[in-house]
Amino acid sequence: MSQSESTANEIVQPVNELISNRLKGRVAIVTGAGHGIGRAYATRLAAEGASVVIAELDKAAGESVASELVEKGRSAIAVATNVTDPASLKNMASSAIDTFGRIDILVNNAAIFSTIPMSRSPFDEIEIQEWDAMMAVNVKGAWLASRAVAPQMKTQLSGKIINISSGTALKGSASRIHYVTSKAAILGFTRTLARELGQYGINVNCVAPGNTLSEVNPDESTLSFRNAGANDRALKRTEQPSDLVGAVAFFASSDSDFITGQTLVVDGGSFMH
């Protein structure tokens, strides 16, 4: 090994150790963490030392993810959670506090997108019931979840709320106007909530993913759609959940303590502003 290689290894090793423990002692709640990208968020936060609450409508999936994390030596629990139900979210927050003593991080990830069927139809063909369901989960769910954890974060005078929007809200995307509208609402929600909670030392930021291959076993049509996203971005490859977790971990950590009300677009250079 050359002297330059030895020096590089000496530099990299402490950095890796620092990152792996930068969320030690923190408690994170990730909604919709039983599947796809939410599962990836929870896994990364746990890997960086956080105790994680898997808040998931699909109880079995949530328990499976929590068990996997515990088997890896991480600290995690699963709480069956419906983000459209205030009582369910109150139970989510209470379970986190009763088990871990605090709430430091909330990732508002739960949304109607891949695990719950969504129409990809012209705007005037979408059923009113589906529009209302989309808004109830994707927008009201983020509001209610934030409202559920805010009292504890205010008491602590600290906290990180990380909302998940979408690159489609910045570019527009035909044939799913209800989804795009819901994700555009999250942009304004993030900025307004950051204004309201900043006085309590609580940061509120947003991540806007691009077209991401979040499905575990995608069919040929889905795989083709995800791969096609590479054609529209500067980095010519399919986006994976692993491409998003670093941004969420950054916003969850003390590295972002003086950043709030911001949206970080993680799409390989599809949308640039």
pLDDT band at 228; cut points 50, 70, 90:
confident
In CATH, the architecture of 22-209+244-265 is: 3-Layer(aba) Sandwich (3.40)
CB 121 within 8 A of CB 67: no
More confident residue, 158 or 227: 158
The ranges assigned to domains in the chain are 22-209+244-265
Nearby residues of 65 by Cβ (< 8 Å), 6 or more positions away? 33, 34, 39, 42, 43, 54, 56, 76, 78
- The number of angstroms, rounded, from the C-alpha of 140 to the middle of its chain's C-alpha atoms is 16
What pLDDT digit, counting tens, does each position of 151-163 carry?
999 999 999 999 9
Q: Is 179 among the residues known to form the active site?
A: yes
* Active-site entry in 41, 100, 113, 179: 179
CA distance linking residue 11 with residue 211, whole number of Å: 34
pLDDT band at 197; cut points 50, 70, 90:
very high
Q: Does the pLDDT of residue 229 top 80, yes or no?
A: no
Q: What is the pTM of this model?
A: 0.89
